[in-house]
Amino acid sequence: MTKLSVNINKVATIRNARGGNTPNVVQVAIDCERFGADGITVHPRPDERHITTEDVYNLREVVKTEFNIEGYPDKRYLNIIEDIRPAQATLVPDPPSVLTSNAGWDTESNLDYLTDLVKHFKTLNVRSSIFVDTNLQNIEYAAKTGVDRVEFYTGPYAEDFTKNRELAIKPYIEAAQLAHSLGLEINAGHDLSLDNLKFFKQSIPFLAEVSIGHALISDALYFGLENTVQRYKYLLK
């Protein structure tokens, strides 16, 4: 069964809009796990516009499932990984100024850099994942780094799903087959939702994990958090 890691960035965004501690990010993480989530994902950006550094350290004390910390590997991010040693570190190539992650790594150009990072994470006993698109060359070079997993950027899939889902999924199937053949485990994330998740899962049966935040937290406004987490879990069976 594919694991569901709930990205709680958007919960922190709502809290930060008013200050204080409502909604309580730590409590939401505890509740997501209680409702069935297999992991918690955060992306602590340098400007702290949602998840803060303090949040990450507070979450370390309560997350009982898999803690996934994603981000651009600057000095601040690396210090966090070294201190907390989460279950997984997901390397994302976005600079601090972007609104949200919107591209994968050029793994060929960054091969030496990514290889060094992966080696470092292995010494910390932290599973590593590299955020990639469906370019087959990027997947081949990701494998050369020694990384444990790749995470597919699924924004294009979500955008094209309503137009032609067979065409939308085709490059992901090809990319997943290559990644699987190279010994890489496969994660996926970005704009996956109750509408498009089931088809994605069915098309890629060896999908290890999905990280879902924006759509899941938005759905929770209508369905409630417990019901929403369980709906996503059901689609991943």
What positions carry a catalytic annotation?
43, 70, 190
Q: Which of helix, strand or coil describes residue 123?
A: helix
Q: Which residues of 66-76 are buried (b: 16+ CB within 10 A; e: fewer)?
A: bbbbbbbbeee
DSSP-derived secondary structure letter, 95 = -
Given the DSSP bridges, would you call strands 3-7 and 39-42 parallel, antiparallel or unpaired?
parallel
Distances (CA, A) of 17 to 47, 58, 96, 102: 14, 20, 19, 23
Task: Please state, in angstroms and rounded to a whole number, the distance separating the CA atoms of residues 6 and 206.
Answer: 19
